[in-house]
Amino acid sequence: MPMIQTTSEQRCFGGTQGFYSHESRECGGTMRFAVFVPPAAAQGRVPVVYCLAGLTCTHETFTIKAGAQRVAAELGIALVMPDTSPRDTGYEGATGDWEVGEGAGFYVDATEVPWADRFRMYSYVANELPALIAGNFPVDPLRQGILGHSMGGHGALGIALKNPDRYRSVSAFSPIVAPAQVPWGEKAFGRYLGKDRAHWAGYDATELLARGTFPGTILIDQGGADAFIDNQLKPELFETACLRTGQALDLRMHRGYDHSYYFIQTFVEDHLRHHAAALA
Ligand SMILES: N[C@@H](CCC(=O)N[C@@H](CSC=O)C(=O)NCC(=O)O)C(=O)O
């Protein structure tokens, strides 16, 4: 079993909040991640929810800002927070632009130079990390859920739709639901995946719905005062695709809420309960 290094562990709501690192095969270097293990894990393996953060974020962002541990402890759910990209790559253009490169991995397996060697966040989050977590933490890999925010919401929806046999639940906060149709996604997919838009479709939640639906209701919360809603998020595109394909969707619009972690803090309990119901 691959080794992990413990950076720190703190007692939290009767469980443990830890920060770790390991040498990643997919990302070609050291990757950092955080795990919350609830008190119920003392009695046996617990369900696990992967929490994917957005642009500019690290493994610390959701961990520190979402306020998810109290309810995860109550529900007996482990949380895993990966970083959003490989780090210290030295690639030209990998730093200095918050929309692409380090901190902006977009949960795809890049095919273009120079990104292809290390920017493999799809395979990292969907395959490598769950195996690492199952081998080192008291989680039940047959009871997995996934959620995310913004770029991480795109990641969660896409990974769940591509692997409906491996995730029992999925939810998102203010997700980029149609990356192939908005500036953030067009920029990142163009750099990582090249010009062939047919390839992009394999990572676009709205397009993936045409290939197959998720066997459960998808929960999405979206702030009505989110500055990115009209040009980057476009929840209506996913809503229309769900109606067309018969995908069960609970899209909740919240007047006055923006794109921040204050919005996530407000509704994270509902998301964890959504996952707990499916992972029981
Ligand atoms: N630096 C940008 C704002 C970046 C931003 O808003 N990032 C969001 C995710 S956006 C989509 O993936 C985020 O979660 N930030 C972390 C936080 O703590 O809020 C700018 O200057 O506008």
Domain assignment present for residue 2? The answer is: no
pLDDT score for 1 = 66
**The pTM is what?**
0.98
Place of tokens 């695709």: 241
Token pair listed for 18: 């830890």
CA of 57 to the centre of ligand 1 (A): 7
State how beta strands 15-24 and 29-37 pair. antiparallel
Rg (Cα) of the chain, in Å, rounded? 17
Summarised one tens digit per residue, pLDDT across range 161-209 is: 999 999 999 999 999 999 999 999 999 999 999 999 999 999 999 999 9
From the CA of 174, give the closest atom in ligand 1.
11
CATH code of 16's domain:
3.40.50.1820
Task: Please indicate whether residue 151, judged by its CB atom, sits closer than 6 Å to ligand 1.
Answer: yes
Active-site residue, 274 included: no
In a domain, 83, yes or no: yes
Q: Average pLDDT, stretch 256-273?
A: 98
Quick one: which of 15, 64, 77 has its CA closest to 273?
77
Question: Of all residues in the chain, what percent carry a pLDDT higher than 70?
Answer: 100
Which residues are paired to 51 by β-bridges? 147
Segment 132-171, tens digit of pLDDT = 999 999 999 999 999 999 999 999 999 999 999 999 999 9
- 225 pLDDT band, cuts 50/70/90, is very high
Q: Quick check: is 184 in a domain?
A: yes
Domain membership flag for residue 34 = yes
Range of the domain at 162: 8-279
In a domain, 16, yes or no: yes
Q: Token digits for 89?
A: 């790559």
Instruction: Note whether residue 149 is domain-resident.
Output: yes
| Residue from 24, 85, 150, 174 carrying the catalytic annotation | 150
Domain tally, the chain: 1
Q: In the predicted model, what is the mean pLDDT of residues 9-34?
A: 98
Count of beta carbons in the 10 Å neighbourhood of residue 90:
8
Contact 119, 189 (CB under 8 A): no
